[in-house]
Structure 1
């Protein structure tokens, strides 16, 4: 056993000797320090190696690895940026180094922050991940989701656009981009994306609903109503489709009986919406059903009172 152990050590030392034989003393010293876990010492060596060989991409890869060990993400990304394109022989190595850095930032820091609902921190890490490896569409999509939650719709649009550029056929990314366009009021661009999605996903209630909302906001009421009905057909529990279908029938079409039919179904499924009850009261009144109008109005007042009491507790 002792002979085998000595042989293994000898082979390890031999491989390390071969690895370091073609490198400068600074780069070799940095590699040894890095392998030993002496990160600050390794960084110092690699910086010296960089100053002596500024055109050597290998130096930047090792420097990035050392910085990553210290969670110095900006410096690690900058090192890889500086090493990229210096020597075609190292292009694949730089690519792998970027992916390794991306995995560490994205999986170990960005995702946990997102899961903990710390969206500001998550956005910072997703942004770093997107720079560590700009080929990963997931980073930009996740960044867009954070910006949406943080009510920064313009930034969300830019992030989702980059995700779609990288994966133009990804339905989730396209859906997110269309939603972001709706958030900033650009219904025309949202509609362009949504109509493409609607053809790709004819049985997707979420996609069809977003098409309906876009049409509604653009004033294409008849088409919007048709789409809302399609959504309800696909998913009878899609509450927002009931609400906006009812509002379109009431406000734009003055079809009060039709609105009553839809809004009644809505409040059966979600009875704590005071606005829906107020709408029902108006529609009942328009159709001559005074008794139900009074009941619906009282229900709306009760819900408002209840919510105020809960807020004051």
Structure 2
């Protein structure tokens, strides 16, 4: 059994390896934490979360190498750790559909859509797979819904595909739908990148919308919630911003940036005592944090 101090060190080491892209090393550290931490404790929950993330990233690497069997194994392990991540179900559906397991892939997509009914990319894929097995009426409903959720699917290719469908030209429709599926609309990193770019240009409302889109795919990324909170503060919505910082800290209580930003949001709302508490908490996590010290000094709280 690992002691509390060693547990914290191994968790920190796992994060360090994760950030450096040393995924196998990171996997070993988080597995050690999970096996020793008390079940249901914050340490166990965080270790499980990051184990899922590591397996998801290993799956991506496996896909890039063409090692689809390994990718499937990692995705199934990721889902076992984080079953409420719609994008993991979508990625697994892609892998097993390519292997010919259409019905199983559809089941994974339905699981993802149960978690996020507005997951347009999953809805479109469900429609295409339904089309492949001849369930044309259901397929048309799914595809139409996908275009309603995500207007960027409503292209000329979409119109041509639906026209072919209505004429009973199913082979042509399927080919056009496969082309439509290449449209990049729901990629987390895409929306996250757009959000950061808009934020840095001062378009806080546009940034908030982009971060919302990223979170609609996977709501459990603390860094996206932190950026979303910053954008909301830029819009003057400090209470909503604070909720996002709190949500980030529920996922990762040691996220220093979110702790400081929660303090800033409190300060903006006139909650000086709460702001001080967050700044001091950030110094407990990172004693050398200059921003926290400066904010405490500015508020004449620093002893």
TM-score range, shorter chain: 0.3 to 0.5
Calculate the TM-score normalised by the size of structure 1.
0.43
Calculate the TM-score normalised by the size of structure 2.
0.45
